[in-house]
Amino acid sequence: NNLQRIPPDIALLKNLVHLDLSGNKLRSLPAELGDMIHLRELLLNNNAFRLLPCELGRLFLLQTLGISGNPLSPDILNMSTEPHGTTKLLTFLLDNLTVCPRPPEREWIQLLPMQRPRSASSYSVMSYNVLCDKYATRPLYGYCPSWALTWDYRKQALLKEILDNSADIISLQEVETDQFYSFFLPELKRIGYDGIFSPKSRAKTMTETERRFVDGCAIFFHKSKFSLVDQYLIEFNQLAMAHAESQGSEDMLNRVMIRDNIGLAALLELKDPSLAGMSSVPQHILVSNAHIHWDPEYCDVKLIQTIMLMSELETILLAAQSERGIGVKTRFHGMPGIPLILCGDLNSLPNSGVFEYLVKGTISIDHMDFLGHNYDTFFDATIRSTSTISSPTGNPELRHPFHMKSSYSQENIGYTNFTYDFKGTIDYIFYSSDFLKPVGILGGVNYEWLKTYKVIGCPNPHFPSDHFPLLCEFELASQH
């Protein structure tokens, strides 16, 4: 066609999959071509290109890039003819693309008036899925430069994010075993933290070398504010196995037991001298950190794991209260007198059964998220250990005794997981509202910045994980 120019407006063809510009007299391409991220095939053969715009590296779904018959450098032409040449060439271009400016700082959202007197004790809590190194691959995150996906780069950016927010309690998910002991724990110990960790249950069946790369959950606390009283591991597959063996349930065996997700909990004592002798203010807190099963097709497993988690946390707190003589009197029969904070990547949206159960404290055994699977014996055993009320259908409900609230609402976070394929809120900081009041939270990432610089997913050079960290400051509420 003897075309000599392609207009930037070609990028308006957002859903174009195949573009053949071969056999023209083109010397250059508009950078906007890199915005056409749905392209699978781009043919530029037999033109007059001496350079390719690095923006083409953003076409991470491209399967074929034809550039033969152009006066390009031999290095570029040779790279394109190698096995997986298109992938190599796109990686090279993306790695050399100029990095966009840093995003604006996330705003602090004050939830309680600034002028009021500070409570006797307040503390901040962070929850952050740090994206385990073995999951940070080019096939999954092809829109991220390869250098920004390396663990050496990301671990320093993750540490900076953690240190900049300087929370008193830090809950991390997807922490590799080796990285907890060789990086996170020593780095945070240097500035006054201590921490606990457990890998996913599969680590028990592995060799020592393999075990190093299993990810898990970690809880860190600043030693100036807290001391560790006890720690607890909640293994959902072990709970499922114990239940299935005693009660018999194929769905429990075949759907829940084969998932090796875990919960971790730390019973902490506050080191605040101003609280001494204040019998109405809790002196302890239980912090739990969980990473729930990821697969959207298994919302029943997510819900069962969450019910197991809350049941175990209730048992832990009631035992701590009776055996250690700690906690305060509560207004509600059966509710532990120790505050609970639950952090985690729950892999569940705010319209899920998991969220409903946590916030409402009840869920019907015929809830749609159970997908009609047979968990009747589990329901019976769980209901026997709690009280029941009737649902509108007349079926009993599963309950937990904590009056939990989420620190964040949809209005002030938008999404916590931000990838090309999925954007949504699945990370949370829940708290027992009888004991704690959120003072403020770290607001969401600036949407206009994401839009302006065409950030289609994370990680990227400015965000070292595909999740955004959550941060909330709490103060203790007196029990009268």
Instruction: Give catalytic residue positions.
Output: 345
Provide the CB-side half-sphere exposure for 221 (13 A, CA): 24
**Structural contact between residues 37 and 62, judged by C-beta atoms closer than 8 angstroms:** no
Which amino acid type is present at position 316? I
Greatest alpha-carbon span in the chain = 87
Q: How far is CA 35 from the centre of its chain?
A: 27
What six digits make up the tokens of 53?
């715009």
Place of tokens 């060439």: 89
Strand 122-129 and strand 470-476: the pairing is: antiparallel
Which amino acid type is present at position 468? F
According to DSSP, the residues that pair with 233 across neighbouring strands are 264
What six digits make up the tokens of 232?
């607890």
Provide the CB-side half-sphere exposure for 189 (13 A, CA): 10
Alpha-carbon distance of 34 to 218, in angstroms, equals 39
Q: DSSP 3-state assignment of 173?
A: strand
Place of tokens 């053949």: 20
What six digits make up the tokens of 220?
């860190």
**Structural contact between residues 450 and 114, judged by C-beta atoms closer than 8 angstroms:** no
Handedness of CA 436, 440, 442, 448 (dihedral sign): positive
Q: CA-based angle 292:332:343, to the nearest 5? A: 20
Q: DSSP 3-state assignment of 195?
A: strand
Beta-sheet strands, E only, within 58-176: 64-66, 108-110, 122-129, 169-176
Side by side, which strands form the sheet with 64-66? 18-20, 41-43, 64-66
For the chain, counts of helices (H) and of strands (E): 14, 20
* Neighbour count for residue 153 (Cβ, 10 Å): 16
Strand 404-406 and strand 417-418: the pairing is: unpaired
